[in-house]
Chains A and B, each alone.
Chain A
Amino acid sequence: MPLLANWYDLRDLGNGVARLIEALRDAGAPDGLIYAITGLLGAVAILLFVGLAAIINIWIERRLIARIQVRRGPNRVGPFGLLQPVADALKLIQKEALQPNNADGIVFTLAPIVIFIPVILAFAVLPWGEQMVLADLNVGVLYLLALGSTTPIILFMAGYASNNKYALLGSMRVIAMLISYELPMVMALLGVVTFAGTMQMSGIVDFQQTHWSWLIFFQPLAFLIFLLGGTAELNRTPADIAEAESEIIAGFHIEYSGMKFGLFYAAELVNAVAMSGIIATLFLGGWWAFGLEQWVPGWLIFISKIYAVYFILIWFRGTLPRFRIDQLMAFAWKFLLPLAIINVFVVALEVLLWREYELSAGVVLPVAAVVNFALAGVLIAGWARVMGQAFERAPKKPRLFSEIEVPLPDEAAPEAGSGQTEPATV
């Protein structure tokens, strides 16, 4: 791509900004001003997207869940119910934001506001196109992980300040869960970073572009681990124990009402988009899609990838029951973490061989892909078998009897009763 394309070249919105920088520079503006103006432009663009996504996602999620649940979903307000989120938001704004008597007022009010900060900050390092990165940090991956670690503190602020027992339980759960899932996620990303050789988000996309392949093909195990860890990080089914509706009702945000609740809700949706964006960048090539980006704007490709991942998250939510907290911890520590560590070792070995013997990428990468896929399959199946529990082996069909048969207390139980018949349907 030429360095300075026409500003109206929609394939990369960065072109326009580059033209603007050029014009400002020609006019003799100081560097600080240029920096501020371009930064502001990018920030406004991202905030626009985030705001729109928060509104659209409510509709998308509700419609899709409704489709999964054989019902129609919101379809009354506006065409196809598209204005439903607006109506919801208006209702939430009108509602009184209650605050419990014994709550810690400042923290209670602060939590729903603060929760948006790490979510929005995450968008800064995501590459939307070749030149469309707001802050192309060379430690982008580390930055994202650091942002993710601040979320538990904010959720704990919300739960603790509410002075509610359910909220306390919810925030206890959220801390335990998020800290546990941090580790496998970091380990999974370590594999990706080792493979790509950079922590820069645009660098990782470049790597995928250079080698004409997405990283998911080289790192399937890391992708799975990151996706599962991501659902936990997002508090979504099957790991929504922090707000488990059927157990602790809404967990940490049980006492919030009105727009304070709305902020939590929106932050959750935007968080899902951010997580989908991270996955799309790291594993699915970001804005790059096998040459398709020559014709379709890269940011559109990126957004469609985000929504593809988001669809998987919604699908999870519509299908799976919820883990119990100890099972969720066990899943992180006994299943995901060992696999992630093994993955890191294997990747390190591959990269070492590649760099040490200066093999050509055309040879190493296909071999690495095959090896990693095989490894992922074997490890997941094998580990599941080793860690598999007795409940899997117990019979799942009820016994069928055609006659009543209750033994006296000192007689044997009707284990193989005479009246027992074979199940009619298997």
Chain B
Amino acid sequence: MAIKTEPLVVNIGPQHPSTHGVFRMRVTLDGERIIDAEMIVGYLHRSMEKLAEERTWTQNIPFTDRMDYLAAMTGNLSYCIAVERLAGIEVPERAQYLRVIFAELQRIASHAMANGTFVNDCGAWQTPLFYMFREREKVLDLFEMTCGARLTLNYMRIGGVAFDLPDEFLPQLRSLLDELPDRFGEYEDLLIDNEILLMRSRGIGVLSPELAMNASMSGPMLRGSGIVWDIRKADPYCVYDRMDFDIPVGHTGDCYDRFVVRMEELRQSVRIIEQAVEQLPPGSHLADVPLNLRPPKGEIYSRIESPKGELGFYLVSDGGPEPYRFHVRSPSLLNLSALREMVVGQTVADAIVTLGSIDINVGEVDR
């Protein structure tokens, strides 16, 4: 006798501890197995693109903080670089180095958060999250020391950075850099060989390189799938062409690969910061930029490698004091493109792990 069963529709989110904000996934379950999944976003839509058309070029910088609030520095950076390229502004060399230092510090903070929450989603009762928060706190202390804010930094300016380094910044950065590799080692000892973590994340949420490229994945998602691509190498901005660092690339494209790619990127970021501090030149930190900036008529698509992936800005200027069109190519949104392909056929527990490994930030998904 056949048992009559019917699929169960479950809303995962928008209020759910593991959706990292107000993300909603409507899954259809057969027992515990997912047979269909649909993502529903928009709970955090703040119409930034519309608002930005009403504000001057400089006034738009704080919006980019609030997009990916876990990596505000790179949001600032991407927008400022786009406007500078559009308006043809030269940035002083010291500012370029400072931008590299802060962008990489931000990458450490963001990846720490991503890996911590990922293991948390695997069910480790918050211990790895707190380990990673310990490092993130110190990075945020450095941010606070420099620009007075910890989360929404608003530090980059068009033509440079807002403030020069305070005196005590470099010694504290130095001690942090000495400490970080040991801390990452501790974290790896706890997790890299952890049998349960391996069981939970190996072979889960596999993303083939073809689909990764076709679905416009970027950042650790793309690299986890085995594609050797990093905008810092491919299209160097700031002074990344003077830095020596490696691109970590995964083997199979599963959740574990994305996790170890992020772990290795933490180490590479420390390497980059060390070089940048060594080469840091004296000089001005901010170019002279007119207060009422009016870039020439034209359009630009400019992208950088944010911690989440390729963060691009498509800006159209009509020669006025405000952007005519301000479009954000947000990595968090596009990394969700293949979510359905990744989670269908898995169990609920795997879907949560997969979502955790994508490392979305709903602020950036919805904007």
Chains A and B in contact, CB within 8 Å: yes
List chain A positions with a Cβ less than 8 A from chain B: 65, 68-71, 165-166, 168-169, 172-173, 237-238, 240-241, 244-249, 317-327, 389, 391-392, 394-406, 409, 413-414, 417, 419, 421, 423-425
Contact B196 A321 (CB under 8 A): yes
Kindly state whether residue B159 has any CB partner on chain A within 8 Å: no
Kindly state whether residue B282 has any CB partner on chain A within 8 Å: no
Contact A424 B246 (CB under 8 A): yes
Contact A246 B120 (CB under 8 A): yes
Kindly state whether residue B192 has any CB partner on chain A within 8 Å: yes
Kindly state whether residue B240 has any CB partner on chain A within 8 Å: no
A247 to chain B, nearest CB (A): 5
A326 contact set on B, CB distance < 8 A: 347
Contact A399 B251 (CB under 8 A): yes
Kindly state whether residue B275 has any CB partner on chain A within 8 Å: no
Contact B260 A396 (CB under 8 A): yes
Q: Given A400-B249, A406-B228, A413-B226: A322 and B267 within 8 A (CB)?
A: no
Kindly state whether residue B350 has any CB partner on chain A within 8 Å: yes
Contact B17 A245 (CB under 8 A): yes
Contact A394 B347 (CB under 8 A): no
Known contacts A165-B10, A246-B18, A322-B349; 14 additional CB pairs below 8 A are A246-B122, A321-B194, A322-B200, A323-B196, A324-B350, A327-B200, A389-B199, A396-B193, A398-B260, A400-B247, A404-B230, A409-B210, A417-B228, A425-B181
A285 to chain B, nearest CB (A): 31
Closest partner residue, chain A, to B247 (CB atom): A401
Q: Given A395-B251, A401-B246: A165 and B8 within 8 A (CB)?
A: yes
Query: A424 is contacted by which of B123, B131, B134, B267 (Cβ under 8 Å)?
Result: B267
B121 contact set on A, CB distance < 8 A: 246
Contact A322 B122 (CB under 8 A): yes
Contact A247 B234 (CB under 8 A): no
Q: Given A70-B134, A326-B347, A403-B233: A391 and B198 within 8 A (CB)?
A: yes
Contact B257 A324 (CB under 8 A): no
Contact A404 B234 (CB under 8 A): yes
Chain B positions 193 through 235: 1 when the CB is less than 8 Å from some CB of chain A, otherwise 0: 1111111101100000110000000000001001111100110
Kindly state whether residue B119 has any CB partner on chain A within 8 Å: yes
For chain B residues 90-129, which have a beta carbon within 8 Å of chain A?
119-127
Contact B123 A414 (CB under 8 A): no
Closest partner residue, chain A, to B250 (CB atom): A398
Query: A322 is contacted by which of B32, B123, B130, B261 (Cβ under 8 Å)?
Result: B123
A172 contact set on B, CB distance < 8 A: 31-32
A424 contact set on B, CB distance < 8 A: 246, 267, 271
A83 to chain B, nearest CB (A): 24
Cα distance, A419 to B228, chains bound together (Å): 10
Cα distance, A394 to B234, chains bound together (Å): 29
A244 contact set on B, CB distance < 8 A: 123, 349
B202 contact set on A, CB distance < 8 A: 391, 394
A236 to chain B, nearest CB (A): 9
Kindly state whether residue B348 has any CB partner on chain A within 8 Å: yes
Cα distance, A247 to B198, chains bound together (Å): 18
Kindly state whether residue B264 has any CB partner on chain A within 8 Å: yes
Contact B123 A238 (CB under 8 A): yes
Cα distance, A324 to B248, chains bound together (Å): 28
Closest partner residue, chain B, to A392 (CB atom): B198
Cα distance, A397 to B185, chains bound together (Å): 13
Contact A247 B349 (CB under 8 A): yes
Kindly state whether residue B252 has any CB partner on chain A within 8 Å: yes
